[in-house]
A and B are shown apart, each in its own frame.
Chain A
Amino acid sequence: MPSLLEALLTVAHPVNLVLVALGVGAGIVVGALPGLTATMAIALLVPFTFGMNVTHALVLLGGIYCGAIYGGSYAAILINTPGTPAAIATTFDGFALAKKGHAYRAIVVATVASAIGGLVGVGFLIFLAPPLARASLQFGPPEFFWLTVFGLTIIATISPKSTVKGLIGGALGLLIGTIGIAPVDGAVRYAFRTVALQNGITLIPALIGLFCLPEILDMIASRFHRETAIPYRPQRHMLRRVWRIVARKPWLLLRSSVIGTVIGIIPGAGANIAGMVSYNEAVRVSRKPQEFGEGSLEGITASEAANNAGVGGSLVPLLTLGIPGAPPAAVLLGALLLKGMRPGAELFTVHASVTYTFMFSLVVANVLLLPLGILLGKGASKVVTGLPTTVLAPLVFFLSVIGAFAIQNNVGDVYVMLAMGLVGFLGRRVGFQPGPIVLGLILGAMCEQGLVQSMLLGRAAGTPVAIFFTRPISIVLIALTVLSAGWPLLARVRQRRTSDETAAHIHPLLEEKRDD
């Protein structure tokens, strides 16, 4: 209780409120730029937090995360290109509405839905995370082993285009994660007498490389197609009018927000999948499905409420178990570790005040989406088309270099960033997405520690194999693993049976981009 009160007072401190507002504003601008994802927004803006204390850093990064996911809706509505992949489903109706001359209405609907969805997601985070973190105290090495295996099988679920490529990406990430000092006996592995590799691959440079460099090179490869944004003029009382429309659909808002939160909680699945699934569900349930794709306010609401709800959801497994629910959460994990905070029960005991401040700051960030989103709208729409990509691409690389270097004041990390970026770029040419590689990289150490320590424990007890299969939590995790591994097969069978037009419309788009 004292931690909760302390956290509330800390969030209300003017410095923190300003940082949240700055984070949301910066996130909106970066998210609004097509090609720059929410993951990139956080990765590129992490260096700004290096000189800050942990509370200020997390408050700022949380604001950036919320702002960036929402910011993607601007480009989706105004130029029919999602600013972030999370806003793919917003393009279906947002752009259609903008073409009819109602761009401002579409933006206000997206803003209201994002704020409400975001608040629902954070609500789940605040109520679910503490008990889950306490439950994680029951986890021993075998449970952590199965938990990571479960996390890795999710790769199969989130890589519908090619399950095998997703799994290969995961295995490659695991292998990259073994570079450096072994977690069990301290042997130095795969360093090849290179000092820079002896401490292993630093997470943030690797993430910056995997998520940012391929985007820069893709921008260059696509020859900077310039888009023309649909012009719009803010109208008076639009917020009130939109509120009346949206308030008449409480179930749509609630359903979309819950879908977004639940998908956000699933490790690896991000806000883009949340937005698509929620949109699909809104079409299925609607009495007027024919209006979707023609500028339906319900479509925009479903997509935006879900993708912003996914923010809170993705932080549930991150804060409690150290498993990111989405790629942007993976970068947040790097920032947490950098500040000496290890996810798990410790976050809710030793660092409870900081953790609750972070969670409450997300509430503030979502509330601030309403005024900032609407006020920054005009500016963001200018940024969408105004900043030449010939300047944007070098600028993104410049920020990537600073981000990679400043973590340890080490140019070796810049080389790691560059190498991982090349792996990501070449991988993308062959159909590999960065998400599975990152998940493998993050889960690798936990998985190895769980495996080897369980074997040692089992050997000591005379049951080297049984220890993996006889503990109750392990059995639940094994069942979840089997379910998650078999899900792509079940989904394929289900897909063949349904000839739903929307599903056919959605899936090719869903497969375009995986990271948020």
Chain B
Amino acid sequence: MTKDRIAALALVGVGVLAWIEAQRYGPLSRLFPQVVSIALVLLSLVMFASSFTARSRRAAERQAESREHERPDVRGVLLSLLVIVAWTLLLEVLGVWTSSVIAFVSLVVILRSTERAAVVWKSIALGVVLVTGFVLLFRVVLRVPLPEGVFW
């Protein structure tokens, strides 16, 4: 419910900003984005308004009930996201193999933090073998260009 309202308001903001930005373009290139922005704002307002209806409240309650059993790993998601963003930013600094191996190991450690050391090492070894194998396959066999950096 709250999520729906926040998302709807954020989308209204996106629509309004897109409409304002489109004002700067010529008549032919601003027509379509402006029509779409108006549609986005109107639909988002409908979404905002409908989050107050009884039907929507019931659906949200049902969803909340089912989510209670799921209990997603928020810490794991946030840490993984951090690693993924760093991985992307370091691609052209360290090179694809080096950055991928570091990120792979970091992710395995984050995601397997509660497991036995042997299991973690096995996953790390498998990850390094897979990354090396794929980098070789793309670079040498398929001749697909990959990001290059200080290292390999």
Enumerate chain A interface residues (CB-CB to B < 8 A).
Answer: 47-48, 50-51, 164-165, 167-168, 171-172, 174-175, 178, 182, 184-185, 187, 189-190, 213, 216-217, 220-224, 388, 390-391, 393-395, 397-399, 401-402, 405-406, 409, 411, 414-415, 418, 429-432, 447-448, 451-452, 455
B33 touches A178 (CB 8 A): yes
A398 touches B108 (CB 8 A): no
Q: List residues of B (100-152) whose CB comes within 8 Å of A's CBs.
A: 100, 103-104, 107-108, 111-112, 123, 126-127, 130-131, 134, 138, 142-147
Query: Does any Cβ of A come within 8 Å of B94's Cβ?
Result: no
List A contacts of B44 (CB < 8 A).
168
What mask results when residues 69 to 98 of chain B are scored 1 for a CB within 8 Å of chain A, else 0? 010111011001100110110011000100
Given known contacts A217-B81, A418-B84, is B31 in contact with A402 (CB within 8 Å)?
no
List A contacts of B37 (CB < 8 A).
175
List B contacts of A447 (CB < 8 A).
32
A393 touches B88 (CB 8 A): no
Min distance, Cβ A76 to any Cβ of chain B, angstroms: 21
A278 to B67, alpha carbons, bound, how many Å? Answer: 30
B108 touches A221 (CB 8 A): no
Most buried by A among B15, B33, B70: B33
List A contacts of B92 (CB < 8 A).
411
Residue of A nearest to B37 (CB): A175
A418 touches B85 (CB 8 A): yes
Given known contacts A175-B18, A394-B127, A402-B144, is B76 in contact with A221 (CB within 8 Å)?
yes
Residues of B in contact (CB 8 Å), total 61
Residue of B nearest to A187 (CB): B29
Given known contacts A217-B81, A221-B77, A224-B111, is B88 in contact with A414 (CB within 8 Å)?
yes
B43 touches A217 (CB 8 A): no
List A contacts of B4 (CB < 8 A).
430-431
B26 touches A185 (CB 8 A): yes
* Residue of A221, A406, A430 touching B146 (CB-CB under 8 A): A406
A220 to B79, alpha carbons, bound, how many Å? Answer: 10
A390 touches B111 (CB 8 A): yes
B21 touches A190 (CB 8 A): yes
A189 touches B22 (CB 8 A): yes
What mask results when residues 5 to 18 of chain B are scored 1 for a CB within 8 Å of chain A, else 0? 00100010011001
Given known contacts A220-B73, A220-B80, is B147 in contact with A405 (CB within 8 Å)?
yes
List A contacts of B144 (CB < 8 A).
47-48, 50-51, 402, 406
A220 touches B103 (CB 8 A): no
* Residue of B3, B46, B91, B100 touching A411 (CB-CB under 8 A): B91
Min distance, Cβ A301 to any Cβ of chain B, angstroms: 31
List A contacts of B84 (CB < 8 A).
213, 397, 418
List A contacts of B47 (CB < 8 A).
164-165, 168
A187 touches B26 (CB 8 A): yes
B43 touches A398 (CB 8 A): no
Most buried by B among A184, A220, A395: A220
List A contacts of B127 (CB < 8 A).
391, 394-395
Query: Does any Cβ of A come within 8 Å of B28's Cβ?
Result: yes
A402 touches B138 (CB 8 A): yes
7 A-B pairs with the lowest CB-CB distances in the bound complex, closest first: A182-B29, A221-B72, A187-B29, A448-B32, A171-B40, A430-B7, A390-B111
19 pairs from A and B in contact (CB 8 Å cutoff): A47-B144, A51-B143, A168-B40, A168-B43, A171-B39, A171-B40, A172-B14, A184-B29, A189-B29, A217-B80, A221-B76, A223-B73, A394-B103, A394-B104, A394-B107, A397-B103, A398-B104, A402-B146, A406-B145
List B contacts of A165 (CB < 8 A).
47
Residue of B nearest to A421 (CB): B84
A102 to B18, alpha carbons, bound, how many Å? Answer: 57
List A contacts of B36 (CB < 8 A).
171, 174-175, 178
A451 touches B73 (CB 8 A): no
List A contacts of B50 (CB < 8 A).
164
Min distance, Cβ B28 to any Cβ of chain A, angstroms: 5
Given known contacts A221-B73, A397-B87, A401-B91, is B138 in contact with A47 (CB within 8 Å)?
yes
A190 to B143, alpha carbons, bound, how many Å? Answer: 34
* Residue of A220, A388, A399, A401 touching B77 (CB-CB under 8 A): A220
Given known contacts A178-B32, A187-B26, is B88 in contact with A415 (CB within 8 Å)?
yes
A390 touches B108 (CB 8 A): yes
* Residue of A388, A402, A414 touching B123 (CB-CB under 8 A): A388
